[in-house]
């Protein structure tokens, strides 16, 4: 038996990176997964690979309320119910805070913060109607501390923790648990944009990132998206049945303190 047998879960940002690995793992554990993203070609390809019986792809711009309503309808048409949500979609922009254009700041808020809010607001009633379930929000290491040059991103991730705690309190009576994963650096295209640059040497880019996090992270390496997926699985499955309203840091010890070595 799988840990998610009988569950139907929407995963946003599921076409690549952490979302892709979450979708793959959830299907392995018996869930029906609705893959939601704006990267249609990659999302469709992944859904085809996972199989129609287990996965469907829907186009979802998480900042758009109408897209959420459409995604919920597609999920119910395909699998009859929804009892899980992983709010994984997000964007990252690097900029000095005082140099950040308002348009850029608002764009990050719309995707990361408003997208999470709309996901909770739209999907929670469906989860309640299904008899309860789980919501996992993707926050960040930066939700627990500060980091220079990612002011917009850090602000939205702090906000996601607030949404997580309030939602956990308000939805507990409907049998809905709400928690947050807080990854540090993870080896995905968002953390390492060189993965998306066709002119970059992938080995050189990966080696540079590996060397950076060897110095920064106590465990001596960047995280793997599969490791974040395993945490999302724990928070979605029955093993975490008495946990709600909590942030879970997964960062190789980065937040623990500063090394002088």
Could you tell me the residue ranges of all domains in the chain?
A: 8-186+224-252, 187-222
Task: Give the length of the chain.
Answer: 261
177-186 pLDDT, tens digit each: 999 999 999 9
Residue 177 C-beta-side C-alpha neighbours within 13 Å: 18
The three-class DSSP label of residue 106 is: helix
Angle among Cα 117, 121, 123 to the nearest 5 degrees reads: 115
Measured distance CA(181)–CA(229) in Å, rounded: 10
168 close to 244: Cβ distance less than 8 angstroms = yes
pTM, 2 dp: 0.94
What share of the chain has pLDDT > 70, as a percent? 94
**Helices marked H in 172-254:** 202-216, 225-236
What local confidence, expressed as pLDDT, does residue 91 receive?
97
Calculate mean pLDDT across residues 134-158.
Answer: 97
Residues 6+ apart with CB under 8 A from 252: 184, 185, 213, 217, 218, 219, 220, 221, 222, 223
As a whole number, mean pLDDT of residues 50-79 equals 98
Residue range 118-138, pLDDT digits in tens: 999 999 999 999 999 999 999
Q: Binning pLDDT at 50, 70 and 90, where does residue 42 land? A: very high
| Strand order through the sheet with 32-37 | 55-59, 32-37, 8-12, 84-87, 133-138, 176-183, 247-250
CATH of 8-186+224-252, one of 3.40.50.1820, 1.10.3720.10, 3.40.50.720, 3.40.50.2000: 3.40.50.720
> Of the given ranges (75-79, 105-109, 153-157, 217-221), which has the lowest mean pLDDT?
217-221
Q: Which two tokens stand for residue 20?
A: 């892709």
* Beta-bridge mates of residue 150: 95
- Number of Cβ within 10 Å of residue 208's Cβ equals 12
Query: Is 153 labeled as catalytic in the residue annotation?
Result: yes
Tokens of 252: 């190789």
Residue of 57, 141, 149, 153 marked catalytic: 153
CA distances from 223 to 15, 28, 117, 228, 256 (A): 19, 21, 27, 8, 15
In angstroms, the CA 52 to CA 27 distance is 11
Predicted local confidence at residue 109, as pLDDT: 98
pLDDT at site 261: 62
pLDDT value of residue 216: 87
Taking residues 68-74, what's their average pLDDT?
A: 98
Mean pLDDT of the chain: 94
User: What pLDDT, on a 0 to 100 scale, did the predictor assign at position 194?
Assistant: 56
Per-residue pLDDT tens over the stretch 47-58: 999 999 999 999
What confidence tier does 36 reach under pLDDT thresholds 50, 70, 90?
A: very high
pLDDT exceeds 90 at position 190: no
């Amino acid at each position: 038996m799988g840990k998610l047998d009988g569950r139907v879960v929407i995963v946003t940002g599921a076409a690549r990176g952490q979302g892709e690995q979450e979708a793959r793992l959830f299907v392995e554990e018996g869930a029906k997964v609705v893959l939601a993203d704006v990267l249609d070609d990659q999302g469709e390809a992944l859904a085809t690979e996972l199989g129609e019986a287990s996965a469907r792809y829907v186009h979802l711009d998480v900042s758009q309320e109408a897209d959420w309503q459409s995604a919920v309808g597609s999920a119910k048409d395909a699998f009859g119910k929804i009892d899980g949500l992983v709010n994984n979609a997000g964007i990252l922009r690097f900029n000095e805070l005082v140099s950040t254009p308002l348009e850029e700041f608002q764009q990050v808020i719309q995707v990361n913060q408003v997208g999470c809010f709309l996901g909770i607001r739209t999907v929670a009633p469906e989860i309640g109607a299904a008899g309860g379930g789980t919501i996992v929000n993707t926050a960040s290491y930066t939700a627990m501390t500060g980091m220079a040059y990612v002011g917009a991103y850090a602000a939205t991730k702090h906000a996601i923790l607030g949404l997580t705690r309030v939602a956990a309190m308000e939805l507990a009576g409907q049998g809905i648990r709400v928690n947050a994963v807080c990854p540090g650096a993870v080896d995905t295209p968002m953390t390492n944009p060189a993965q998306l640059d066709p002119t970059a040497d992938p080995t050189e880019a990966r080696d540079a990132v590996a060397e950076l996090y060897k110095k920064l992270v106590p465990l001596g390496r960047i995280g793997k998206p599969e490791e974040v997926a395993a945490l999302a699985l724990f928070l979605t499955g029955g093993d975490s049945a008495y946990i709600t309203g909590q942030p879970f840091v997964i960062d190789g010890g980065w937040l623990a303190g500063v090394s002088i070595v």
